Amino acid sequence: MDHLYDLIVLGAGSGGLAAAKRAASYGANVAIVEGDRVGGTCVIRGCVPKKLLVYGSNYRELTEAASSFGVIFKEVDFDVALLLANVREEVSRLNVLHKTMLKKAGVELFSGWGSFYDPNNIYISRDIGKDTEKVISGKRILIASGGRPSRPSIPGAELGWISDDMFMLEKFPEHVVVVGAGFIACEFSCILHGLGVRVTQLVRGKRMLRGFDEELVNYLQDNMREKGISIIYENSPTAISGKRGKLKVFTHDDSSIDCGGILFATGRKPYIENLRLHNAGVNIEDGRIVVDKNQATNIPSIFAVGDVTDKINLTPVAVDEGRAFADSIYGDSNRVVDHELVAKAVFCDPEIASVGLTEVEAIETYGKSKIRIYKSRFRPMSKALVKRGSGCFLKLVTETHSGKILGCHMAGEHASEIIQMASISIGMGAKKSDFDKTMALHPTVAEEFVTMV
C-alpha 177/C-alpha 238 separation (Å) is 13
Contact 182, 265 (CB under 8 A): yes
Contact 414, 350 (CB under 8 A): no
* 442 catalytically annotated: yes
With CA atoms as reference, report the closest residue to 43 among 86, 103, 105, 97: 97
Contact 400, 372 (CB under 8 A): yes
Catalytic residue among 98, 252, 278, 442: 442
The catalytic residues are: 442
